[in-house]
Amino acid sequence: MAKQQGGMRRPQNPAPVSGPGSLSQRTDGGPQQVLTDVSGMPYGENQELEAMQSSAPMSASTSAKSPKARQRQTKSAMEQVTPLFSPTQRPEEPVTDGASFGPGAGVPTRPGMRSMNNTDAETLSKYLPSLLTMAESPETPDGFKRFVRHLKNLQAGI
């Protein structure tokens, strides 16, 4: 007892020792949440995510799936993909439908986009002299200069 570590110690799992026969209980803490493994994250962040998940485990749910179950689900979803050279499923629709050229409906446009641009240009017109002065500075980034040039062109189009 030189380190003063005596006394009652609470078990970390639900049951410290399993009882005999019908009195037996799980000692491993029961089912746990499956850790989510995310691919494509920047270096070190996936390890950090796993550490956060394991530090505060949640109770298991029936929807938690193992990696193999997720892989089976992905395979069944891939079976529904239409192959590249299969016959068309829309024979009446031209291939160029939705494009800015050829037959078809053309590019879908948002209604009122031109009027919104004009309204924005009118609102920003009072700031244009100050923005032009800032754009003439040698330290001004090129992106800001392009933005001011764009605003100036919008003003000319009104």
pLDDT tens digits for range 83-138: 888 888 888 888 888 787 888 887 776 666 667 777 777 888 888 899 999 999 99
* Its pTM surpasses 0.85: no
Plot region of 39 (φ>0 → left; ψ -120 to 50 → alpha; else → beta): beta
Sign of CA dihedral 46, 51, 56, 60: positive
pLDDT tens digits for range 23-58: 776 665 555 666 777 777 788 777 888 787 777 666
Bridge partners (DSSP) of residue 14 are: none
Report DSSP letters for 63-99, one per residue: T---HHHHHHHHHHHHTTSPPTTSPPS-TTS-TTTTS
Helix (H, G, I), strand (E, B) or coil at 21: helix
Query: Contact at 8 Å (CB) between 100 and 106?
Result: yes
> What pLDDT, on a 0 to 100 scale, did the predictor assign at position 81?
78
* C-alpha span between 28 and 93 (Å, rounded): 60
> What pLDDT, on a 0 to 100 scale, did the predictor assign at position 137?
92
Query: Contact at 8 Å (CB) between 99 and 106?
Result: yes
- What are the residue boundaries of the structural domains of the chain, listed by start? 115-157
Query: Contact at 8 Å (CB) between 104 and 98?
Result: yes
